[in-house]
Amino acid sequence: MLAIGDRERGTDVGKKGSCIHVWVACPVCGFERWVQETTLVKYQARCAKCAPSRMRGARLSFRGFNNPAWKGGRILLKTGYIRVRLMPEDPMWAMGNHNKGADKSGYVLEHRLVMAQHLGRCLKSWEVVHHINGDRTDNRIENLELLPSRQEHMGLNILQEENKELRERIAKLEARVTVLEAERVLAEVR
């Protein structure tokens, strides 16, 4: 009688090649069979019927936290924003349309989620969450500001850009003044 975990050479159990095979039971349905030891780790001993890649119903049970490849549900986008995974039972799931709210896979922009949780309500599609320091990955509530429209957000962005350019210009002019004053002092000494 075979016991779970028994190991045999493939040729001894009617398989091709001399690889080591292990007698295993599928964790989902309990079906027992010989599995090549090298594939045992990769497919976690699931039988062909229960493997998520072959059975749609099983694939649904391996979503989100249950998926072995789950990395926490946070994705850094190329645009610099972070998307986080929401479950359908989350009260913020219905937050807006597919562009700003939860998309079909349940992901939502983290800064919008943080603001919505702070306010205790879902954000409207026209409301814009602005990063005060300009860092799109800094989603602390003290760095976020809720604006009522895109127009106000664009105006604020333009003002911040102009302010940044003026500060850089002032820093360059102050450095130039320092150099000129140093040259004048040297000229007076001579």
What digits encode the pLDDT tens for the residues 96-147?
Answer: 444 444 556 678 899 999 999 999 998 888 899 999 888 999 999 999 999 9
Q: Are residues 131 and 161 in the same domain?
A: no
pLDDT score for 146: 92
DSSP 141: G
Going by their DSSP bridges, the two strands 32-36 and 107-109 should be labelled as unpaired
In a domain, 124, yes or no: yes
**Domain with 126 in it:** 74-148
**Would 2 be classed as within a structural domain?**
no
The residue from 20, 41, 66 where one domain ends is: 66
Given 16, 31, 66, the domain boundary residue is 66
Do 161 and 119 reside in the same domain of the chain?
A: no
20 found inside a domain: yes
- pLDDT at 74 (0 to 100): 86
Q: What is the pLDDT of residues 29-42, one digit of tens each?
A: 888 888 888 777 66
pLDDT band at 1 (very low <50, low <70, confident <90, very high): confident
Residue 158 lies in a domain: yes
Instruction: Please report whether residue 94 resides in a domain.
Output: yes
Does residue 155 lie within any of the structural domains? yes
The strand pairing partners of 153, in sequence order, are none
Record the tokens describing residue 42, joined without a space: 């990769």
Q: Helix-strand-coil percent breakdown of the chain, rounded to 5?
A: 40, 15, 45
DSSP conformational letter for 43: H
- Torsion-angle region of 147 (φ positive above 0: left; ψ -120 to 50: alpha; else: beta): beta
State residue 97's pLDDT score.
45
Structural domains counted in the chain: 3
Asked if residue 29 and residue 16 are part of one domain, the reply reads: yes
Residue 87 sits in the same domain as residue 139: yes
- Pick the range with the lowest mean pLDDT from 133-142, 150-159, 162-171: 150-159
Domain identity same for 143 and 156? no
- Is the domain of 20 the same as that of 81? no
What are the pLDDT digits (tens) for 36-61?
887 776 666 777 777 655 445 545 55
In this structure, the answer to whether residues 138 and 155 fall within a common structural domain is no
167-185 residue pLDDT tens: 999 999 999 999 888 888 7
Residues 49 and 94 in one domain: no
Q: Does residue 79 sit in the same domain as residue 144?
A: yes
Residue type, 87: M
User: What H or E segment, with its residue span, contains residue 41?
Assistant: helix 37-43
Residue, of 16 and 135, whose pLDDT is higher: 135
Nearest residue to 113 (alpha-carbon basis) of 139, 149, 152: 139
More confident residue, 163 or 188: 163
If you average pLDDT over residues 82-92, what whole number do you get? 81
Q: Are residues 42 and 93 in the same domain?
A: no
Q: Are residues 78 and 136 in the same domain?
A: yes
Say yes or no: 82 and 119 in one domain.
Answer: yes
